[in-house]
Amino acid sequence: MEIERKWLIKTEKVPFDLDSCEKVHIEQAYVSFSPTIRIRNVDRGRVFLLTVKTKAHGFDPELAKNEYETQITKEEYHQLMENARGNVISKTRYVRRVNDGLIYEIDVFEGEFSGLAYLEIEFQDSTTAASYPDPEWVERDVTYFPEFKNSALAKYGMPPMR
């Protein structure tokens, strides 16, 4: 199960050097939006992944999802890309462990989503996730705004920034 919160950020406000983080390039597309079936090309062909996300019954549907992920071949990835729906998302993910034992994942989007950036944090349980304070440097919590989900970016494009 994935329990995650997401914040909209401005990269110039990040309080550490992104170049000091582990960095991975991700290209992702969606084969289905319901259920959510996503494919990823990680680091330009180093790894190809297929992910299925479904509702986690009994949990907050915006905070928690059941997630199944498996590695696929380059050929399978390209076959599935032929059936991709919507926009293909390209982003660089910066990963940093922080003092409280959590992992910050900062996604900086490219192409048609250039200028968009998120901080995502996965938690062990929904209670910790719900009570975690917003980091001082984030713009706003968008966990409960479906238009900021990656699947919504693929389906509808850039969200309104309000």
Provide the residue ranges of all domains of the chain, joining segments of one domain with +.
2-156
d(CA 35, CA 153): 16
Assess contact for 39 and 47: CB atoms under 8 A. no
Say if residue 35 is preceded by a cis peptide, omega within 30 of 0: yes
What tokens appear for 88 in the block?
């293909």
- As averages over each run of 10 residues, the pLDDT of the chain (162 residues) reads 96 96 98 96 97 90 90 98 97 93 96 97 94 96 96 95 66
pLDDT at residue 83, rounded to an integer: 96
pLDDT at residue 59, rounded to an integer: 87
- The CATH classification of domain 2-156, taken from the options 1.10.1740.10, 3.30.70.1400, 3.30.360.10, 2.40.320.10: 2.40.320.10
Assess contact for 108 and 34: CB atoms under 8 A. no
d(CA 147, CA 156): 8
d(CA 95, CA 133): 19
